[in-house]
Chains A and B, each alone.
Chain A
Amino acid sequence: MANLKISNVTKRFGSLVANDDVSLEVSEGEVVALLGENGAGKTTLMNILFGHYVADEGTIEIDGVTLPPGSTDAAIKAGVGMVHQHFTLADNMSVLENIMLGTQSLWSLKSTVGKARQKMEDLASEYNLHVNPDAGIADLSVGERQRVEILKVLYRGAKILILDEPTAVLTPAETDQLLANLKNMVASGMSIIFISHKLHEVLAISDRVTVLRHGAMVGEIATRDADKAILAEMMVGRKVTRPKAQILEAGESVLELENICVAKKDAKLLSDVSLTIRCNEIVAIAGVAGNGQRELAELLSGLRSWDSGEFRFEGSAVTHPSARKFLTLGFGRIPEDRHHTGTVGEMTVWENLLSEKLGQAPMWKYGKFIDFAASRKKAAELIEQFDIRCNSMETPARLLSGGNMQKLILARTLTASPRFILANQPVRGLDEGAIAFVHEQLLEARKNGVGILLISEDLDEIFSIADRVAVIYHGRISPLLDVRKTNIRQIGAMMGGDMKAVA
């Protein structure tokens, strides 16, 4: 008997069909991977299952009983547990408090802390998920927080575990640990729905793979019959080849950082960072999120000052940083967060295209007035050249898809002919076609003599376009390694803090 049965679910958001007649069955002790690109409707489907959204059509049954739509409570009671992509933990509370949150009766005067502690410890040892119950969430590593999330779900008696992109924030070693734990749970009768777009993980953990594309189910395949190429083609719908870096001789250095330190109160956010980026090369900074990438990116965007160390651009020292100054110097910046940093969503596409050139001719008359004709002409050129798909240039930027928003930012950056580009997670959340486009543009800029710093958590990306790579860990940066002389295993070990692996 099927443990979970999702039948013919359809969900629309306005004109967008997020799920189109999707059906999925999961039996006891089975791992089903839900594979698809960003925006394919994986998370929407799981949010319907978990009662966050109400499906327009279709039903969800667990052990033959139909779940009432839109009730998270009912879903939890029926044994569905969800570990969200973005953790839902209260940072200022302890592990045990987080796990108990919402499970105590409001009307009971008796504390159940003792019992809860026992139950949590039993679960932890049963599934090998050890965390100190009294530790504050804020003090835990990302891997440990995820363990707390899983424990929280198990504590509520989940039989069907949904993991939404669980490995996005983990190091390769932590990922291995997680996959081992999951196998353990399946062995004891749990069912797991594993959402991911990382093919090797899907192949490693699942029994069966269901592929979603543009909201519709495009196929289902037993994992033993699948390989990476088959899954990739099912996911994207066509063969997409990402561009690879041609070998180029790097030129003079563009940007040099020497022993840069950034501290906030007592915490050292960046310590003794030294980096040299040369013309015609892409230097990648690998690392698990939260190890100082944000501070490094802010530093190179002109948004943050440094406490000590030397910052040189094209040979001359830079002081008193500001975004405006960096732009004038010849910095191009592709920020991590397209929606909140890279664009002003309420303003139009053309206004966003000229946001880094305020007051500069030809888009501005007398330095202070918008020249509408010249601005629109320039915007039309860029929209054409970078193939930005939008209804019109008067559309608010927030209505663009992720890929088109990134194209807008690329267009704005590249048209300024920068000599250095900071690309912070430039392809995160994009579909394969857009990824290929962004990489092509970066490689083209590299060929034209631009020095590029790529901050990425995606090792595949680094190994396909970067020339040199360093790892950032706890605000420190390892020596640069030649990408062609290292491998994913070595970089993975360094990302976990094993700097001895450098040698």
Chain B
Amino acid sequence: MQIEPRENISPWRVVLAPVTAIGVAFFLCSFLIAWTGESILEAYGFLFKGAFGSRFALSETLNRATPLIFTGLAAAVAFRAKFWNIGAEGQLYFGALAATLVGTGAINLPPILMVPFLFVAGAFAGGLALLGPVFLKTVLKVDEVVTTLLLNFVILLFINYLLEGPLRDPMSMGWPQAASVIDAGVLPALMERTRLHIGFLVAIGAAIFVWALMRFTIWGYEIRAVGANATGARFAGISINKTVFLVAMLSGGLAGMAGITETAGTKGYLTLDLSPGFGYSGIAVAMLANLNPLGVVISAIFLAGIYVGADSMSRAVNIPTYIADVLVALSVLSVLVSLMFVQFKVRWR
């Protein structure tokens, strides 16, 4: 068997490869469904209906996709520059913390200003959470995978402390949760009688912003160059440290905004179970999208659909919701393999 790089990559292949890969993931997963004794088609039917089958299902899926778009963009931007930020989870909580600190009454602005203000505050907090790792990496060459990953647990424990102590809402009857975001800061709903809020539109705006930044600007050029070949970029006069810093602030900021959509949008207040691992799922989202900012939107909706759909499937037939994790994991694996087939061809002898 020989693996050879392709010289001309047709756009068809780029589109078809991930689609086929996801088909393969569903096919492999159907063995597990068959094992539970349920009908495969019926189960997938419930999954699809639960994710996209009604106005409510769709709103739930898009609502779930909102923080995933932000964390997916955070990973996509960082990974493009080969800055391995695994700490989006912690940065998300820092963003949520910012929403609590400034959004629960400390600052009062009219809604038109309060909502943008919260997003900015969240972005700042997310970036702040990455300052330590980025300093350690640029000055002392400490591996950012280790620092960002471990910082997640530090931040979570810190939030835990705050929720048990200084930030606990006196009205919460003892539950470890913070005060609610004031009405002016709550993200307005997009559809009546659903949880979908304008955070989703902000997320799409962020994706377009990141896409344009990467494609049209000097910063995007520098980020791509540093990621593709740091030695070459440095030789051409690009400052590696400056670029890494920029990428880290952008990535942390995007992850921090996910904290805003959850605190000021979906949930209304900060708790310790605010995120069911959105920060980590963001990595899967980015990988599925091959780090393309616009692709992140699609892959985030896809992943959210699987999670939301699996919930409803498990209520209808006797299949545990964990099937969603299996499906997501298989999708990421098969998409990564399929992307290799886009870049390379295999010759058998």
Contact = CB atoms under 8 A, between A and B. Distances in A.
Interface of A: 13-15, 54, 301-303, 322-324, 326-327, 333, 335, 340-347, 351, 355-356, 358-359, 364, 367-370, 391, 399
29 contacts: A302-B237, A303-B235, A323-B236, A324-B238, A333-B235, A340-B231, A341-B231, A341-B232, A343-B232, A344-B224, A344-B228, A344-B233, A344-B236, A345-B229, A346-B228, A347-B224, A355-B225, A356-B237, A358-B218, A358-B221, A358-B236, A358-B238, A359-B218, A364-B218, A368-B217, A368-B219, A370-B216, A391-B8, A399-B7
B4 to A, nearest CB: 5
Contacts of A351: 221
A342 B7 CA distance: 21
A14 B5 contact: yes
B193 interface: no
B222 interface: yes
B234 interface: yes
A344 B216 contact: no
B216 A369 contact: yes
Contacts of B228: 344-347
Nearest to A53: B2
A18 to B, nearest CB: 12
Contacts of B234: 303, 323
Contact of B237 (A322, A346, A369): A322
A347 B5 contact: no
B141 interface: no
B98 to A, nearest CB: 28
A368 to B, nearest CB: 5
B241 to A, nearest CB: 11
A344 B233 CA distance: 7
- The 3 closest A-B CB pairs, nearest first, are A324-B237, A346-B228, A323-B237
A344 B236 CA distance: 9
B17 to A, nearest CB: 18
A341 B217 contact: no
B225 to A, nearest CB: 5
A394 to B, nearest CB: 11
Given A341-B232, A346-B224, A370-B218, 16 more contacts: A303-B234, A322-B237, A322-B239, A323-B235, A323-B237, A344-B229, A344-B233, A345-B228, A345-B232, A347-B225, A355-B236, A358-B237, A368-B218, A369-B218, A370-B216, A391-B8
A342 B235 CA distance: 7
Given A54-B349, A345-B229, A346-B229, A327 B237 contact: yes
A344 B232 contact: yes
B235 A341 contact: yes
Contacts of B224: 344, 346-347
Nearest to B227: A346
Nearest to B212: A369
A400 to B, nearest CB: 11
Contacts of A54: 349
A356 B228 CA distance: 16
Nearest to A337: B231
B231 A356 contact: no
Contacts of B216: 369-370
A99 B6 CA distance: 39
A346 B230 CA distance: 12
A335 B216 CA distance: 28
A206 B237 CA distance: 47
Interface in B192-241: 216-219, 221-222, 224-225, 228-229, 231-239
Contacts of A335: 235
B232 to A, nearest CB: 4
Contacts of A324: 237-239
A327 B239 CA distance: 13
Interface in B34-78: none
B222 A14 contact: no
Nearest to A323: B237
